[in-house]
Chain A
Amino acid sequence: MSQSRTIYLDYNATAPVKPAVVEAVAQALATGGNPSSVHSTGRNARIAVENAREKVASLLGASAGDVIFTSGGTEANNLCLRSFHEAGRKLLVSAVEHPSVMTTALALGATIIPVDQNGVVQPDSLAELLEAEGKDQSVLVSVMAANNETGVLQPIQELADIAHQYGALMHTDAVQVAGKIPFDMKVLNVDLATISAHKTCGPAGTGALITSVQVGKMQGIQTGGGQEKGLRPGTENLAGIAGFGVAAELAADDLARTDEIEALRDSLERQISDFALDVRIFGADTARVGNTSCFAMPGVDSEVQVMSFDLEGIAISAGAACSSGKVSASPVLLAMGVDETAASSAIRVSLGWGTTQDDIDEFVAAWKALYGRLGQKSEELTAA
C-alpha cells in the first residue's frame, strides 16, 4: 500500500483476520489431509474440522450437528432458500436483505416483506403476509439479523414467534451480527441461520448454514460425495474451517468489547452531527449493531466521498461491496423511503476489533475537511 497511513473502517465488507486465526490456518495448511480419508492423516483433518464445528455452533448457541459448512455466506443463503423452495415452500424475505438473499429470492418468486422508515420489519406486516398465504402454503421466512449497510437490527425473536404461529420456518442471515452482539438461535427461536467466517475475523472462503430443523427435508444445491450430511458435497476447506473455528472462539471474547466499539461509533456520529447540522444518519432512531454507521453528506456523491477518503488513507465504502462497481443508490435505503438524492450521498463506516479512538478522530477530521470543501459548497449551490 502506498499510503503511510491506513485506517480500515470497512469491517462489514471484510474484517482483518486475527493473528491467532492466521496461526491456525497456517498450521492446517501445513498438516493437510482429506477429512474423508480413513488413514491417520485424514482422521487428523477430520478432528480439526469437527473441533471447528463445535466452536462455530457454540457462537450461535447451536449444536455441532447443526452446522453445514459452505464456501461462505452467499452459498449458505442460497443453500437455505433454494433447498426450501425446492421442497415446496413459499419464500418471504424482507426488503432490505443482502443481494445473496434478495436476488435468489426474487429468482424463486418470493414475496417481499416491507420495512418501515427505520428499515425495520414490523411484526404486523409479516403476520399479514403469512395470513394471506393461507394455511395450506408452507413458508420459509428469511429476515436478516442486522443490515450490512445500516446496522439496523430486526426484532428476530418476535418475527420468529409469528412465523412459527403460522407454521413457517424462520431463517436469518446472521452474517453481520455474529461476534458483534450475543446471538443465540435457541433463545431467539430461529430455525436456520447463516454465518460467514470473513465477517467474523476469520478467513474468506468459509461460512456455514446452521440448521436446527430436520435436514432430511433439504436438498442442497450441489450433488456429489456425502460431505456435510450430503447437503454440501465437496472436500472440506480444511484450513478455512480450522481458522473459522478459532475466529468463532475469539468472537466470543469480542462480545465483551461490543460496548467499547459502540462508544467509538457514537463518538464518531456525535462529532459529525455537532459539526454539520444537515448530516443524516440512517437508522439512528432504532436499535443498531454497535459497529456500523451509515450517513449522508447532502449533495456530495457517495463515490466522491469514498475516493476522497481513500486518498487520505481511510478505507470506507458506499454500501455493499459485491461486484457491481456501478454507482447507484442503495436499495436498502430506498426501501426505507429515503429519496434517491440522499441515498446516493450515503457512506458506510464500519468498525471492528482493531479500531482505535485515534482512527475515529482522524476519520472525523478528514470528514470535516471534506465537508468544508464540498459539503457547504453544494449547500450554497442548492440555496442559489
Chain B
Amino acid sequence: MNEQSHVEFKGENMKTPIYMDYQATTPMDPRVVEVMMPYFGAKYGNPHSRSHSFGWEAEEAVEAARAQVASLIGASPKEIIFTSGATESNNLALKGAAMFYRDKGKDHIITSVTEHKCVLDTCRHLEQEEGFKVTYLPVQENGLISLDALKDAITDRTVLVSIMAVHNEIGVIQPLAEIGRICRENKIFFHTDAAQGAGKIPLDVNEMNIDLMSISGHKIYGPMGIGALFVRRKPRVRLRPLINGGGQERGMRSGTLSPPLCVGLGEACAIAEAEMASDNERIRLLAKRFHTAINDRLPEVILNGDDEHRFWGNINLSFAYVEGESLMMGIRDLAVSSGSACTSASLEPSYVLRSLGVEEEMAHTSIRFGIGRFTTEAEIDYAVEHIVKAVEKLRAMSPLWEMAQEGIDIKSIEWADH
C-alpha cells in the first residue's frame, strides 16, 4: 500500500517521496508516539469516570497535558479547551463568541481575505444564516494586513477580530501584538488561528492580548484528531457551545476526551516549547540553502509573501513559464502541495495568492515547500536538483519561455479566440 521507494543521492540512500508538506500535516515525533501508546493500551480509563482509579489516572494525564498546552502560549491551564482540531476550535471561537454576544448588540466581525477556509466559511455562515456583518480586510502584496485598515473597520458593534498567526499557504506572520493592542483598546475580542503558528513561533497570549487562540495537534508533530482553543478568563470570553452533552470542558465542549490524543498534544507542545529556538534556527538555515540554490540556478522564481515577517518552514514559490500541474508531476519524488490540502484536489488557483495580487498564471505555477523538524540537508539538496531539472525541462518545451527569452513581452500578445 505504501508507494515509498529509495534513490541514491550523493552516495546516500534516500527515502522518497521526500516529505515537504509540513503545512498539510507533520509527521509524528516518535517521542510523542511513545508517550501516547500506553493510553491506547493498559491505561484505558475514561477521564470523566470519577469512581475508580482507571478514571483518575486518565484524568491526571489529561490535566498534565492541558498544562503543557497552556505553558506553550503563556496561558493558564483553566483557559485551555480540548477540541477535535483547529477547524473545530475556529468554529467554536467564531460561532461561540458571535452567538453569545449577539444579544448584546454585537453583530460585526472583522477578518481577512486570506484566512483559512474554515474561518472564511464560518464567517460566511454567520453572515448568511445568522445576520452578522463581516468585514474581510484585504492584504497587502506581502500578505500582511494593514493596521490602519483594521482600525478603520472597527465599529461599536464589532465583537471579534479573527486574524491568523502564521499563514498556511505562504507562511507570513501577521503583526499579532499590534492587532491585539488595537483590539484591547477598543474592547474587542481578538481570535487568532494559530494552527500553523503555535509551537513554531513564540506566542504569548498576554503579551499579545490574544483572547482566543486555535491550536492543532497534527501541525506540530502531534496526533490528528485533537486541537485546543485558548479561551481567556480575564477579561472573560464567553462562548455558546457547538456540542452539548455531558458538560465536559467547562460546558464549552461536551464529549469524552481521548487521553492518548490529549497526552500527545501536550507532549508535542512541550517539545515545541523546549526546542523551538533550535528547530527554527535549523529550519531557517535549510530554507536559506534551498531558496538561495533555487534562485541561483533558476531565473524568474518568485517567493510569495513577505520575506522578513515569515516562518521559514514554509516557502511558497511561483515558477514563471511553467504549468503548475506539470511541475507537480515533474517533481513526484517530493511530497508537496500547491496550496491548502483541504482544497488541493481543485485546480483553481489559490485565492490566497490572488488576494496578494499575484497574477493568475503565476498563482497557477506556485508550489509550497514545507521544511520541518525532520528535513535533512541531503533532502534539501536532492529537492533542489529535482526541481531545477524539472523546471528546466518544462521551460525548454514552453513556447512562452522561448518567446520571453527572445525578449517578447508575453502580455502584449493578443491571443486569437478558438
If A236-B224, A320-B246, A323-B246 touch, whether A204 touches B51 (CB-CB below 8 Å) is: no
Kindly state whether residue B77 has any CB partner on chain A within 8 Å.
no
Determine whether the beta carbon of B1 is less than 8 Å from that of A47: yes
Do B256 and A32 touch across chains, with their CB atoms under 8 A apart? no
Interchain CB contact under 8 A, A238 and B224: yes
Q: Can you name the residue of chain A whose Cβ is closest to the Cβ of B83?
A: A71
Which of B116-124, B145-153, B155-163, B278-286 participates in binding chain A? B116-124
- Nearest B residue to A15 via CB reads B44
For window 180-208 of A, CB contacts with B under 8 Å fall at 196, 198, 203-206
Tell me which residues from 93 to 135 in chain B have a Cβ below 8 Å from any Cβ of chain A: 116-118, 121-122, 124-125
Convert B38-78 into 0s and 1s, putting 1 for each residue whose CB lies closer than 8 angstroms to a CB of A.
Answer: 00110011101111111101000000000000000000000
**B344 touches A (CB below 8 Å):** yes
Is there an interface contact between B27 and A25, defined as CB atoms closer than 8 Å? no
Q: Is the CB of B248 within 8 A of A17?
A: no
Q: Say which residue of B27, B52, B121 sits within 8 Å of A10 (CB atoms).
A: B52
In the assembly, what is the distance between CA of A205 and CA of B86, in Å? 15
A307, B49: Cα distance in complex, Å:
12
Closest to A24 in B: B40
**Is B225 among interface residues, defined by CB-CB distance under 8 A?**
yes
Interface flag for A318 (CB, 8 Å): yes
Q: Which residues of chain B from 312 to 353 have any CB-CB distance to chain A below 8 Å in the complex?
A: 328, 335-337, 340-345
Instruction: Tell me the smallest distance from the CB of A199 to a CB of chain B, in Å.
Output: 9
Known: A10-B54, A34-B21. A99 touches B246 (CB 8 A): yes
Q: With A and B bound together, what is the CA distance between A37 and B328 in angstroms?
A: 13
Task: Give the nearest-CB partner of B344 in chain A.
Answer: A38
Cβ contact of B337, chosen from A10, A38, A78, cutoff 8 A = A38
Q: Does B224 lie within 8 Å of A317, measured CB to CB?
A: no
A176 within 8 A of B: no
On whether the beta carbons of A14 and B44 are closer than 8 Å, the reply is yes
Which of these binds chain A: B237-245, B301-309, B394-402, B410-418?
Answer: B237-245
Name which residue of chain B comes closest to A74, CB basis.
B255
Number of contacting residues on A, CB 8 A? 84
Which of the candidate stretches A53-61, A223-231, A250-258, A280-288 sits at the interface with the other chain?
Answer: A223-231
A233: chain B residues at CB < 8 Å are 87, 118, 121, 342
Q: Which residue of chain A lies nearest to B16 when distances are taken between CB atoms in the complex?
A: A40
Contacts of A13 in B (CB 8 A): 46, 48-49, 55
Which residues of chain B are within 8 angstroms of A303 by Cβ–Cβ distance?
Answer: 51
Closest to A314 in B: B52
Known contacts A71-B225, A75-B243, A78-B244; 11 further A-B pairs (Cβ under 8 A):
A15-B44, A26-B40, A33-B25, A37-B21, A39-B336, A72-B256, A78-B242, A100-B254, A234-B88, A324-B246, A325-B50
Q: List the 10 closest A-B pairs by CB distance, nearest first.
A: A237-B225, A224-B118, A322-B246, A205-B258, A225-B342, A100-B245, A234-B87, A74-B255, A71-B84, A315-B52
A-B contact pairs, 18 of them (CB 8 A): A38-B328, A38-B337, A40-B4, A41-B19, A42-B341, A74-B254, A78-B242, A103-B247, A204-B259, A224-B116, A224-B121, A235-B87, A236-B225, A239-B225, A240-B258, A309-B51, A310-B51, A322-B245
